[in-house]
Amino acid sequence: MQKPQPGATIAMITQQLLDMKQQTAIDWRKMLGIGIVMPGPFGVEGLSSEGTTTLHGWEHVDIVGRLSAATGWPVTLENDATVAAICERFHGVAKRLDSFVYLYLGTGLGAGIFTDGQVYGGHAQNAGEVGHMVVRPDGRQCYCGNRGCLERYLSLQTAWEACGLDPLTALPEDLLKAPAAYFDRWVTSVLPAARQAINILECVFDPEAVIIGGLMPQPLLAKIVLRLSPCCARCAVNIALPIFDEFNPQYDVLLK
């Protein structure tokens, strides 16, 4: 659904679940609950429903309570970047990592954080809202009211804008049809902000790797990582940036 509205969306989900319950081939006694994924941040006045990177009209909707009441199952709500990190932990390049940051490139930008094998959610489950990390004081205006937020430089929306596409109607794969020179120019423009943000995340969380993923088409993600690679010790495909050189020091050199 494009621009999903609460009433119609919850009704559709509920009906789908009721229809699935009629399928006798499924042992519903094994059903643990329902997981709902939404873009964050959650419950932040003046921010949770602002701009094109959020879901308008959902800020006061108790989707957990309404779906739980309709189905009788427990419901868990999580943001999209954290769920992407969980999937990467189970099935992707983070299978053998206990501490990592997953940068989720969507319409905006978020991060899922694992520390010592556990998801880090923060006080209000809003940890990882790195898209609103200010990387350019007095920079581009952001929907949150600040200037210079990271997602005003590194996100699908800014890539669409740089490639001459309409962010309100463009799809991620449309970037593959755009002139390569436009996309490459956008990558060049976002490198300083991206490197700064990754460096800050490494300083704060000391991860084994920073993984870049999300909705950006894979070939274009690879381009970004390739351009970022001089600032890290080594790169792996799909798509992880191991920690910067300064956090993987050669101690015999430092002791000289």
Highest mean pLDDT out of 40-49, 159-168, 241-250: 159-168
Q: Check residues 65 and 21 and name the one with the higher pLDDT.
A: 65
Q: Check residues 9 and 232 and name the one with the higher pLDDT.
A: 9
pLDDT averaged over every residue in the chain: 81
Provide the domain limits for residue 14. 6-79
Domain-located, residue 1: no
User: Where among 20, 47, 79 does a domain terminate?
Assistant: 79
Instruction: Determine which of 3-12, 16-25, 58-67, 228-237 has the lowest per-residue pLDDT on average.
Output: 228-237
Strand order in the sheet with 118-119: 118-119, 109-115, 100-105, 209-214, 240-242
The structure tokens listed for 9 are 């969306």
Which pLDDT does position 236 carry in this prediction?
A: 41
Give the pLDDT mean for 223-251: 54
Shared domain for 239 and 220, answered yes or no, is yes
Q: Check residues 47 and 148 and name the one with the higher pLDDT.
A: 148
Q: Give the pLDDT band (50/70/90) at residue 73.
A: confident
Q: Give the pLDDT band (50/70/90) at residue 235.
A: very low
- Closest CA relative to residue 152, chosen from 169, 134, 165: 134
Which pLDDT does position 40 carry in this prediction?
A: 66
Residue 43 has pLDDT above 90, yes or no: no
Q: Give the pLDDT band (50/70/90) at residue 8.
A: confident
Which pLDDT does position 3 carry in this prediction?
A: 62
Catalytic residues: 80
Cβ-contact 54, 48 below 8 angstroms: yes
User: Where among 79, 94, 126 does a domain terminate?
Assistant: 79
Shared domain for 235 and 150, answered yes or no, is yes
Q: Give the pLDDT band (50/70/90) at residue 25.
A: confident
**CA 190 to each of CA 60, 153, 185, 224: distance values in angstroms, whole numbers, following the listed order:** 34, 6, 9, 9
Shared domain for 106 and 125, answered yes or no, is yes
Residue 39 has pLDDT above 80, yes or no: no
Shared domain for 115 and 234, answered yes or no, is yes
Domain-located, residue 250: no
User: Where among 25, 49, 79 does a domain terminate?
Assistant: 79
Domain-located, residue 114: yes
pTM, two decimals, is 0.79
Domain-located, residue 112: yes
Domain-located, residue 240: yes
Which pLDDT does position 168 carry in this prediction?
A: 87
